[in-house]
Amino acid sequence: MRLALSRAPQHEVAWKLGAEGERLVAESLERVGGSAHLLHDRRIPGRRANIDHIAVVATGVWVIDAKNVRGKVRVERSFRSPPKLVIAGRDRSKLIEGLNRQITVVTETLRRENLAVPVHGALCFPEADLPLFRELRCGEHRLLWRKQLVKHLRAAGPVPPEHAALVAQVLADALPSAT
């Protein structure tokens, strides 16, 4: 697929690779099973942006941004500044800023409805080079492979199934499908 895309304009290549990453992550999320409530490709009202995936599970609400990039992923830490996300040698901290904005939208939506539930953020990388034996975090957000993400979504947690269903319905109503 990457060879066929190499002849297309750069913005088309980026969009198609991103869409493929979202599809791969969605495919993995469907394997979570149980009482997981999954929302894919949700539009943020009043903005051009969208949220790739939202999962409402026993551990809370997960805002998941799929990133189909290649290269080594690392987090640089300094005492003087926030952690910096570096992918393939480039500063990609703006990805964390985007995830923060998405989490804020979800958190504010839940707050307006007086729903108290933990909200987690994750960047999910189908193709990137992540550490094998430890999980990376950039600030509060997890940087995960698809299998790692599924493991987190299957974990036990404080949110009962009936509350998760209500939370998922509120989010589905407030954040319509972008497709």
Helices 161-174 + 94-112 axis angle, to 10: 110
Query: Which pLDDT score, from 0 to 100, does residue 88 have?
Result: 95
Per the DSSP assignment, residues forming a β-bridge with 50 are 43
CB-CB contact of 178 with 50 (8 Å): yes
Contacts of 67 (CB under 8 A, 6+ apart): 18, 21, 95, 123, 124, 125, 128
Task: Give the pairing of strands 119-124 and 60-66.
Answer: parallel
Query: Which pLDDT score, from 0 to 100, does residue 14 have?
Result: 52
Per the DSSP assignment, residues forming a β-bridge with 137 are 142
Task: Say what the pTM is.
Answer: 0.89
* pLDDT one digit per residue (tens) for the chain, 179 residues: 444 545 656 655 555 555 777 888 999 999 998 889 999 999 999 888 899 999 999 999 999 999 999 999 999 998 899 999 999 999 999 999 999 999 999 999 999 999 999 999 999 999 889 998 899 999 999 999 999 999 999 999 999 999 999 999 999 999 999 98
Instruction: Parse the chain into domains and list their residue ranges.
Output: 2-174
